[in-house]
Structure 1
Amino acid sequence: MGAHPGGRSRGGAVLVAALTVDSIGNGLFLPLSLVYFLRLTDVPLALLGVLLSAATVLTLPVPLWAGSLADRVGALPVVVASQLLQAAGYLAYAWVRGPVGVFVAAALVAVGVRFFWSTVFTAVADHADGSPGGWTRDTWYAISNGARTAGLAVGGLTTGVVVADGRAATYRAVAYAAAACFALAAVLIAACVRIPPPAGGPAGSGRGGYATLVRERPFLALIGLNTVFALSSMMLGLALPTVMLTDLRGPAWLTSAVLAGNAFLVALLSAPVGTRLPRHRRTRAVALAAALWTVWGVAMATLGPGRLGVVAALLVAATLLFTVAEVVHAPASAALAAAAAPVAARGRYLAAFQYSFALASMVAPAFFGTLYEVGTAAPWLALALLNALGVVGVLLLERRLPPAALRDPPRAAGGRPRAGANATTE
């Protein structure tokens, strides 16, 4: 996976296709989670929860290692290794019987997942920098986000259909299919995708390690603000089933329809939105997403039981706000973090940026559950307030970030940024 002789990236279409296949593998297993082990092992539910949580906790130091590896050997080989690790984990899923096997298999998958998310954004940014076309990082991130969302939806819907019979053999077939998806994605990337060395110097050279990162308050503030936005992006899928059952008292199919519609729109809108995002400052795009999440939180707080048609219409309208926020935030925030990082330490900076999502995933269940006990509107109003503060925070942070991080300079005919181009104009 060395640099292309011409000094340019190649295999962009294959990279996007591989990320889609990777997400199909994730989507295949996502609906099963605990159910898989409950069906195929004799391990009690309480112990399963502990084992799977322990496997996840084990991955907390992984981004630190992954970022350093990405800067030393390149992000692409780490992405490939992470996919092979997940393939091995899902193969093990088909054979586990007891607690030790469950923990080992779950740990293989969890470590692979954490390595993947800690390096894939660096790989996409590196590819975008060497891309011969006119796409910016924002567009590449948007296209990748849409492809991954489509893959998750396809995988999830497939599993929902094939496991309806409940047979153990069918469950194992899903594990084998997920392993095959990750292995195929790894082969596609290793064989077809090439990324040149970064323009800022050899990987791992120069300033910008973790010691420098912890002194860069603007980047740390960006991580902190993105934790709020990551929490917001997770809340629809996490909370809606409970809200539908206990507060709105609507049918379960409405939850599925809303979540499926959200995934479909993200996949559909990512490309057209991604081509327009580079016209605007990334901080303004992130602030817009936070403002939309603010309104969404207020809208969710006002929902209550009523006629199905009215409840469905209001819920769909609110979810559209969430969807647009998600489509705008995902590429803009990732591109902002990538552009704010020193090129020689991009792997470490973007790996550290992923801690915003890790922290949000740990906080989200307790955040929703605790506040929901206080009142059904409480988590949504709290989320709206956090996002409103996030809008202010992002606009204040804009003044502290490097001007070139706010927007990529215009690209010359060959796809490279024009020398001396100013990225700060509005």
Structure 2
Amino acid sequence: MLIAGLVVDALGNGLFLPLSLVYFTRLTDIPLALLGVLISVGNVLTLPIPVFAGALVDRFGAVPLVVGAQLLQAAGFLAYAYVRTPVPVFLAMTAAAIGVRFFWSAIFTAITDYADGRPGGRLTKDDWYAWANMTRTAGLGVGGLVTGLVVGADRTGAYHLVAYATAGCFFAAAAAIGLCVRAPRPRAHDEPAGGYRALLRDRPFLGLTGLNTICAMTSMMLGLALPTFVASGLHGPGWLTAALLSGNTVLVSLATAPLVRRVAGSRRTRVLVGALLVWAAWALLLAALRPGSLLVLVPLLAVGTLLFTVAESLHAPTSMALAAAVAPAATRGRYLASFQYSFTLAGIVAPTFFATLFGVHRALPWLALAVLDVATAAAFTRLERALPRAALRS
């Protein structure tokens, strides 16, 4: 039921993500520049939330926070159907953004606690994270497809329908998880307490979080950079980017769990090293491309996207499983909430990283990314010695 709840949650996200800006530019008179400022300010206000969310998870458990976050998102999206002026729009956006931040600060602890509550089962934590990643990707893809079909009519009622459907998905996900999922906090009387003070002294974990920032930034590059690279760097048609991104979504939805099962028993750090080297190969392939015949570009970009997908499918579940295994049971909520800052920082850095280097030459961001990935892979081999042995294998 946890996975089913995540599917519905992802469907809700998929329904509205493609409309993040279009919705309000279509239904309100707020200028686009002001909308951008409102969204940015709302997101900045949520940055401290993981710190508080982690402490709340350790005290009350992850499931109540996940459910509360989904209800808050539902309320925010429901308000989207009624707000029209800047202040109410800002409040609705911020409520939804706070819900998103609480959700990501708690959901991975919920999955870990849920897996711990099933000792002797066939699925490892890596498997649970893999299935969560697969189902979430599928939900996002289906939601995006439905939104594209509904909004194609460009009617006010269609936009309102998407807002209502999104809110309904989050209400349904909250009900499914809140009523049916039991993920008790693990007993950890022998674990040292200390909260964030102890976490900040845990250098191996901080190193893991720092290295994962590079992984997270790389994982964002397909959706963030490929459309611009194909259109402006290779002068390719719009359908090519859509086909590549759709193929990635389908493959992640189908292949993540089998790939993770394939590397079961390997050291998690070595799996991450392998993912980084595959990403580096993908980046070098893109760096070598130049405008030319589609008969050449299409197969090469398809191979590159396949490489990216393999690396993405290995990284996402393995990195979270490693972070969960490194975290002390008593402060797991704080650790996994703090680990999310690697994705937050990557999201801040990635657009500037790509845009600045791409402005110099189309190959430069990919060459720089390949160097970063190889250096991060080497750093993971060194970090491995400092991590607990028990955390290295699934």
Higher helix share: 2
**2:73 alignment partner, one of 61, 86, 91:** 86
Q: Distance in 1 between matches of 2:11 and 2:263?
A: 27
What is the aligned partner in structure 2 of residue 330 from structure 1? 316
SS of the equivalent of 1:376 reads coil
Letter in 2 for 1:174: V
Question: 1:259 matched to which residue of 2?
Answer: 245
Corresponding residue number in structure 2 for 1:48? 35
Q: What letter corresponds to residue 181 of structure 2 in structure 1?
A: V
Q: Secondary structure at the match of 2:359?
A: helix
| Aligned-pair CA distance for 1:249 | 1.1
1:218, 1:400 within 8 Å by CA — same for their partners in 2?
yes
8 A Cα contact 1:145 1:331, kept in partner: yes
Scaled by the length of structure 2, what TM-score is found? 0.98
Select which of 10, 17, 22 maps to 1:30. 17
Q: Does 1:244 align with 2:230?
A: yes
Which whole-Å CA distance do the structure 1 matches of 2:293 and 2:2 have between them?
Answer: 46
Structure 2 residue 304 is the aligned partner of structure 1 residue 315: no
- Does structure 1 conserve the Cα–Cα contact (< 8 Å) formed by 2:109 and 2:324? yes
2: CA distance, partners of 1:46 / 1:370:
21
Deviation at 1:207, TM superposition (A): 1.4
1:15 aligns to what? 2
Query: Any idea what SS the aligned residue of 1:157 has?
Result: helix
Matching residue of 2:174: 186
Matches of 1:277 and 1:351, distance apart in 2: 26
Partner of 1:163 in structure 2? 151
Show the counterpart of 1:282: 268
Which residue does 2:283 correspond to in 1?
A: 297
Residues 1:123 and 1:201: Cα distance change in structure 2 (over 3 Å):
farther
Matching residue of 1:66 = 53
Count residues with an aligned counterpart: 393
Q: Distance in 1 between matches of 2:72 and 2:304?
A: 39
1:52 counterpart letter in structure 2: I
**How far 1:32 sits from its partner (Å)?**
1.0
Please report how far the alpha carbon of residue 206 of structure 1 lies from its aligned counterpart in structure 2 after TM superposition.
Answer: 4.1
2 CA distance for matches of 1:166 and 1:208? 54
Whether the aligned pair in 2 keeps the contact of 1:143 and 1:274 (CA below 8 Å) is no
Letter in 2 for 1:224: G
Matched-pair contact (CA < 8 Å) for 2:326–2:387: yes
2:97 to 110, 114, 125: 110
Matched, 1:393 2:371: no
* Residue identity matched to 2:23: Y
Deviation at 1:197, TM superposition (A): 3.2
State the partner residue of 1:129.
116
8 Å Cα contact 2:137/2:249 also seen in 1: yes
Matches of 2:308 and 2:380 in 1, distance apart? 19
- State the 1:131 CA deviation: 1.3
Partner of 1:306: 292
Which of 339, 356, 380 is residue 342 of structure 2 equivalent to? 356
**Paired letter, 1:152:** L
Return 5+ residue gaps in structure 1 as ranges: 1-13, 409-426
Instruction: Kindly provide the CA deviation profile for residues 371-397 of structure 1, in whole angstroms up to 9, marking residues without a partner as x.
Output: 111111111111111100011011100
Query: Which amino acid counterpart does residue 131 of structure 1 have in structure 2?
Result: R
* Equivalent residues of 1:277, 1:332 under 8 A apart: no
After superposition, give the CA deviation of every residue in 1:133-184 in whole Å (9 maximum; x if it has no partner): 2211100000100000000000011111110010011011101101000110
Contact 1:29/1:178 (<8 A) preserved: yes
Q: SS state of the match for residue 196, structure 1? A: coil
- The whole-number CA distance in structure 1 between the counterparts of 2:294 and 2:43 is 39
The aligned runs of 1:373-388 (5 Å cut-off) are: 373-388=359-374
- Asked whether the 8 Å contact 2:61–2:184 carries over to 1, the reply is no
- In the alignment, is the contact (CA less than 8 A) between 2:215 and 2:276 conserved in 1? yes
1:265-276 paired onto structure 2 within 5 Å: 265-276=251-262
Is 1:76 aligned to 2:63, yes or no?
yes
Q: What is the CA distance between 1:274 and its match in structure 2?
A: 2.8
Kept after mapping to 1: 8 A contact 2:357/2:364: yes
Identical-pair percentage: 59
Distance in 2 of aligned mates of 1:371 and 1:147: 34
Deviations 1:273-301 (A, max 9, x none): 23233311110111111111111111111
- Code of the residue aligned with 1:37 in structure 2: it is F
CA contact (8 A) 1:140 1:274 kept: no
